[in-house]
A and B are shown apart, each in its own frame.
Chain A
């Protein structure tokens, strides 16, 4: 099977300011966020990056989504390199994260049309796509309400709908259920499974074990910027040991080795 997303040995180091060094309680002006990390994601699967806060999940996803460039290694989406064909990559991916927001002043309707134009969609496709996504997430009734006046749950739904405006092949979702109420979280996870059934490639990052167990086909455990284990859920967990225990054992091992 051909990999849709190929992450090849990427590394990313950040330079810390004095203020950041104080916060991180370190004298080292460099922080290795991602350390020679590789994995692949295939068509019609959900790949989960599991790790604690600060492990490098978000940085990895930002590199895949072209918001950051890896210092070393390369990433290919549909055989397009994020280093050389950024715009081709951007046409085929959606990136969802709590860091990305919509302008409060505009309505979902306006923003949907705006982003559809930036993705080069014609009016007919935009209308059809909008009808589908707005109805899926129950946005229809709020289409003309300014984003700033929507509830946080509805705002999140609008964000998801707009990021999927161009019907992307690859969906990258940083902490998909973070900050969502249980009802919205259910709608989102159900929709991710639906997208998977449609043949989309989905990469999520999370620290919620139950979410990984519920929706992910394969998982990569990331600790201190390194991918310490990857594979199908069945290959990672044993009969007697659940995912949580596997994760903590690996975490203790890596932290110990690190210190």
Chain B
């Protein structure tokens, strides 16, 4: 136990005493994520707020104007009345991306009283341009309402049923929970992996490549103590790195989702403790797997290359949180590493009633896997073929 602590402390000091590493591993990930996601959120928000729709209408009517003026939009809408002779010129402008929408009303649009020859409404827009499509979408709604209005004047109330919209009252917590559960599990698993990659290969493959691990293997320290000391220390460091990223994403998420009112205060102390223990048990498994690959690799470069497929698989498993609808209810699937983390985190974030059971199964399964990984790493440290291969 004493030796595990000694090795733990040395691995810890190797990172903590190096200001550049502390900045690169602990602060930079969170800062970068916050800045990048906030930037993306701001850009999307400003592009939507700054949208300008220029709409030309041939034969405009007052009733149509009263309809589109009532439709709310963050875009600035300018409507111009034009003559039939100008149609070609405006269509060209739309094709060139200089104008967004052209609506041509039939002269008889409001004098039609029924019969075969229905008046027409032509709408011209450029579907290759997002602003033109935006304007089309906005005015399509207005046109539908306008059509209903004119039909009522001619035919009276033709609807066969009236629709009453009712439902569960809006639950902000559930809404926020579902939103977070669709994104956070994948991101957190990614952050845990990236954090582990930043410190794991260097500590084992790097030491092996530089010949410093042999100096350690010559001491009377048990190989299992070396394996555990390294895994525990690297796990804590990776967890700190992941927490930095986690804080970055939590701070920037409202901006990214353009939901300024998104309240992460819906989660209590117990939820955060569950999240932390889940993350720690997961990082132990990830660091264990990375350590084994690093011990197998002859060089640091080889270790990084060999770890990449595992990283890709982790991301793919992480995607299950986006594709799934809440946490999986099959208990056996909580024995599968990484997948169990993604599902349990989804359960925590969505206030699933079985969360605690999922958490217990996941942590137990991760700890059993950790023991297996430590055993394998211990065997690898004992293998001269692996440790001294050139």
Least distance between A189 CB and chain B CB atoms (Å): 22
Residues of B within 8 A of A65 (CB): 218
B221 touches A118 (CB 8 A): yes
A118 touches B214 (CB 8 A): no
CB of B219 within 8 Å of the partner chain: yes
CB of A67 within 8 Å of the partner chain: yes
Q: Complex: how many Å from CA A90 to CA B382?
A: 14
CB of A238 within 8 Å of the partner chain: no
Q: A114-B6, A118-B6 are in contact. Are A91 and B220 (CB under 8 A)?
A: yes
Q: A101-B211, A103-B207 are in contact. Are A117 and B218 (CB under 8 A)?
A: no
Q: A68-B384, A69-B384, A117-B6 are in contact. Are A103 and B14 (CB under 8 A)?
A: yes
A window 200-247: CB within 8 A of B = none
Least distance between A10 CB and chain B CB atoms (Å): 14
A66 touches B388 (CB 8 A): no
CB of A115 within 8 Å of the partner chain: yes
Q: A87-B220, A87-B222 are in contact. Are A101 and B210 (CB under 8 A)?
A: yes
CB of B3 within 8 Å of the partner chain: yes
B207 touches A100 (CB 8 A): no
CB of B86 within 8 Å of the partner chain: no
CB of B18 within 8 Å of the partner chain: yes
B384 touches A101 (CB 8 A): no
CB of A95 within 8 Å of the partner chain: yes
Q: Please encode chain A, from 67 to 95, with 1 for each CB lying within 8 Å of some chain B CB and 0 for all others.
A: 11100000000000000000110110101
Q: Complex: how many Å from CA A88 to CA B388?
A: 22
Q: Complex: how many Å from CA A65 to CA B6?
A: 23
Interface majority SS (helix, strand, loop, mixed), chain B: helix
Residues of B within 8 A of A87 (CB): 220, 222
B window 12-46: CB within 8 A of A = 13-14, 17-18
CB of B217 within 8 Å of the partner chain: yes
Least distance between B292 CB and chain A CB atoms (Å): 20
Q: Complex: how many Å from CA A101 to CA B384?
A: 17
Least distance between B302 CB and chain A CB atoms (Å): 14
Q: Please encode chain A, from 106 to 134, with 1 for each CB lying within 8 Å of some chain B CB and 0 for all others.
A: 10001000110111100000000000000
Q: Complex: how many Å from CA A106 to CA B218?
A: 19
B212 touches A90 (CB 8 A): no
A103 touches B212 (CB 8 A): yes
CB of A191 within 8 Å of the partner chain: no
Which of A100, A105, A106, A117 touches B214 (beta carbons < 8 Å)? A100
Which of A69, A99, A120, A162 touches B211 (beta carbons < 8 Å)? A99
Residues of A within 8 A of B221 (CB): 118
A67 touches B219 (CB 8 A): no
Q: Considering the complex, give the chain B residue whose CB is closest to the CB of A89.
A: B220
CB of A185 within 8 Å of the partner chain: no
B219 touches A119 (CB 8 A): yes
Least distance between B25 CB and chain A CB atoms (Å): 14
B384 touches A67 (CB 8 A): yes
Least distance between A59 CB and chain B CB atoms (Å): 10
A102 touches B219 (CB 8 A): no
B10 touches A100 (CB 8 A): no
Q: Considering the complex, give the chain A residue whose CB is closest to the CB of B15.
A: A105
Q: Considering the complex, give the chain B residue whose CB is closest to the CB of A162.
A: B215
B17, B207, B212, B217 — most chain A CB neighbours (10 Å): B212
Q: A100-B211, A103-B207 are in contact. Are A90 and B384 (CB under 8 A)?
A: no
Residues of A within 8 A of B210 (CB): 101, 103-104
Least distance between A175 CB and chain B CB atoms (Å): 14
Residues of A within 8 A of B216 (CB): 118
Tally of contact residues, A, Cβ under 8 A: 29
Residues of B within 8 A of A62 (CB): 384, 388
A101 touches B6 (CB 8 A): no
Q: A67-B384, A69-B384, A105-B14 are in contact. Are A100 and B218 (CB under 8 A)?
A: yes
A115 touches B212 (CB 8 A): no
Q: Considering the complex, give the chain B residue whose CB is closest to the CB of A117.
A: B6
Q: Complex: how many Å from CA A95 to CA B3?
A: 20
Q: Complex: how many Å from CA A115 to CA B217?
A: 11
Q: Considering the complex, give the chain A residue whose CB is closest to the CB of B3.
A: A118
B window 208-244: CB within 8 A of A = 210-212, 214-222
B13, B18, B215 — most chain A CB neighbours (10 Å): B215
Residues of B within 8 A of A105 (CB): 14, 17-18
Q: Please encode chain B, from 181 to 223, with 1 for each CB lying within 8 Å of some chain A CB and 0 for all others.
A: 0000000000000000000000000010011101111111110
Q: Complex: how many Å from CA A67 to CA B211?
A: 13
Q: A68-B384, A87-B220, A90-B219 are in contact. Are A99 and B3 (CB under 8 A)?
A: no
Q: Please encode chain A, from 5 to 22, with 1 for each CB lying within 8 Å of some chain B CB and 0 for all others.
A: 000000000000000000
Q: Complex: how many Å from CA A103 to CA B210?
A: 8
A90 touches B215 (CB 8 A): no
Q: Complex: how many Å from CA A87 to CA B210?
A: 24
B window 59-103: CB within 8 A of A = none
Q: Considering the complex, give the chain B residue whose CB is closest to the CB of A65.
A: B218
Residues of A within 8 A of B220 (CB): 87-88, 90-91, 118-120
Q: Complex: how many Å from CA A62 to CA B218?
A: 10
Least distance between B201 CB and chain A CB atoms (Å): 15
B388 touches A68 (CB 8 A): yes
Q: Please encode chain A, from 241 to 257, with 1 for each CB lying within 8 Å of some chain B CB and 0 for all others.
A: 00000000000000000
Residues of A within 8 A of B6 (CB): 114, 117-118
Q: Complex: how many Å from CA A99 to CA B216?
A: 12
Residues of A within 8 A of B2 (CB): 117, 120
A90-B220, A114-B6 are known; give 6 further A-B pairs, CB within 8 A. A67-B217, A100-B214, A101-B215, A102-B212, A110-B13, A118-B219
16 pairs across A/B with beta carbons < 8 Å? A65-B218, A66-B218, A67-B388, A69-B384, A90-B219, A99-B214, A100-B215, A101-B210, A103-B14, A103-B207, A106-B10, A110-B13, A117-B6, A118-B219, A118-B220, A120-B2
